[in-house]
Structure 1
């Protein structure tokens, strides 16, 4: 299947490509200056997404290793919107902070900044768990390990980021023998098992709101508010995530607020509350202030 997606004016292609090329070994993603290829399990099916960027158009195709179904087609279309960063329109936040003395100048320096997402909510959540309390390089290495342990290899050559069923088949020893801490391994397997057997529904709807999903995730041992908010941001493209527990957010705020030390979590939460219901974009601009060419966060 193939189709074109029109890209908005001022689309920041560099940000999109930078987010998806974090792993230099190109295990599940392969990025060139004008092309993105990513493999992921969608609706139980290994899929290779292929996006060629031609001016203001993304020429998209998808190859599924399996029988095409409506569920796979829907998942592909959603995943493409995610990986292209098209869920959140940045303009309402830009308008909101036009006269703001703190966030206004940041927004002017990064026009058109967008939140680039993981292909699926499950990928976003598991990446958040993997990245807890370790440096980015180590987190990327652990992510690569998880992909090759739990994800099938697509016929196109890339390894697919696994779904919950794939991760749930692993054992704690599978992960701890490959440098995962026991706590991290247990959290990943606990989350995966709950999603795989349907006890934890990550699909939003009238009877399963974002608030409901957040509450259910917080009830999972090993998952805290930061992980949930990161999952909402990178997985759902939710517009009002408060990343007040994020160290990078607090680091970015310190020079802006003029303190001698990073603001604490409570002070950061109060600051971000000013920008509701657009706190996700506030976080994006704070991250970008530390890394001016991109959104700056894994």
Structure 2
């Protein structure tokens, strides 16, 4: 089956391709010029999303190793919007900061920048846990291990990112013997079992305050993980990433100061950009690595 998804005139396809090509070993994502192929499990079915980017539209081919229910097809459409970064419209933030002396010039240099979401909310949450307090290179390597341990291969040979049920079946040792800390492994398995049992529902339409409280109640998940999951998984437009080291480093450079602002001051600096703090984070990340869009 195929889908054609319209793309805006200022769509920055190079940004999207760069984000999805972070794992050079390409276990679950394969990126070619103007093409993304990503494997993901949807309701237990291995699905290959093959996305060809062209001027004005993305042509998306969905290749499933099984039958997809109408609900699963809705999840597929959701995943396509996520990986194409069409969840958050950047225009309102651009308009809001035109006269801002700190971020205004940064945003003008990066017009059209978008936030890429993970294909599923569960992927975003597990990626946030995997990436806690380690560098990006090591996090990507752990993510690859996680996929190999819990995911499944599509008929094409590309691996599919696992769902909660797949992760819930793992024993901690299947991760800890492969360079996961015990705390990180336990948090991943705890989250997966809560989601698989229905005790924690990952619903995009949920109230943000209630959702945040439910996630914070999971041992091992803190405010940074919640905000990052809201950003990458839910496409929430007003995430405050004041605990993020790269955000603080970006503010340090923009302010021309000798040290990073502390977390409290970073929170106050970001507050001026509500209700668009997610886009503020994207532009702050991008300011550290021009012309690369995002560092996380």
Provide the TM-score with structure 2 as the length reference: 0.98
Moved segments of 4+, more than 3 Å: none
Mapped partners of 2:183, 2:114: distance in 1: 33
Which residue of structure 1 aligns with residue 167 of structure 2? Answer: 167
**Counterpart in 1 of 2:217?**
219
Per-residue deviation, 1:211: 1.7
Give the whole-Å Cα distance in 1 for the aligned partners of 2:109 and 2:95.
14
Could you say which residue in structure 1 is the equivalent of 2:255? Answer: 257
The counterpart of 1:234, out of the listed 232, 235, 244, is 232
Asked if the contact 1:45/1:72 (under 8 Å) is kept, the reply is no
Q: Which moved more, 1:42-51 or 1:150-159?
A: 42-51
Query: Is residue 2:282 matched to residue 1:278?
Result: no
| Structure 1 residues not aligned, in runs of 5+ | none
Aligned to 1:124: 124
Cα distance in structure 1, aligned partners of 2:59 and 2:154: 21
Q: What is the aligned partner in structure 2 of residue 134 from structure 1?
A: 134
Match of 2:202 in 1: 202
- Structure 2's unaligned 5+ residue stretches are none
Deviations 1:210-260 (A, max 9, x none): 221111000000000000000000001100000000000000000212322
Query: 8 Å contact 1:273–1:279 — kept in the other structure?
Result: yes
Q: Distance in 2 between matches of 1:182 and 1:248?
A: 26
Aligned length: 296
Q: How does 1:169-184 map to 2 (within 5 A)?
A: 169-184=169-184
Give the whole-Å Cα distance in 2 for the aligned partners of 1:256 and 1:23.
30
**Structure 1 residues 23-102: aligned runs within 5 Å:** 23-102=23-102
Please tell me whether residue 248 in structure 1 is matched to residue 258 in structure 2.
no
Residue of structure 2 equivalent to 1:113: 113
Per the TM alignment, residue 61 of structure 1 is displaced from its structure 2 partner at its CA by 1.0
Q: Distance in 2 between matches of 1:109 and 1:242?
A: 22
- Tell me which residue corresponds to 1:266: 264
Equivalent residues of 2:3, 2:61 under 8 A apart: yes
TM-score (norm 1): 0.98
Deviations 1:15-37 (A, max 9, x none): 10111111111100000011100
Q: Deviations over 1:46-89 (max 9, x none)?
A: 11100011222110111111112101110000000000000000
Q: C-alpha distance in 2, partners of 1:175/1:39? A: 21
- Deviations 1:133-167, CA, capped at 9 Å, x for gaps: 11111111110001011001111110100001111
Write out per-residue CA displacement over residues 85-123 of structure 1, whole angstroms, 9 at most, x where no aligned residue.
000000000000000000100100100000011101110
Distance 2:251 2:33 in 1: 32
Once residues 292 and 233 of structure 2 are traced to their aligned partners in structure 1, the CA distance between those partners, rounded to angstroms, is 18
SS state at 1:48 partner: strand
Taking the aligned partners of 2:282 and 2:95, their CA distance within structure 1 comes to 15
d(CA) in 1 for partners of 2:267, 2:43: 36
Kept in 1: contact 2:286–2:293 (CA 8 A): yes
State the alpha-carbon separation in 2 of the partners of residues 143 and 255 from structure 1. 30
Q: Is the 8 A contact 1:204 1:210 kept in 2?
A: no
Aligned to 1:149: 149
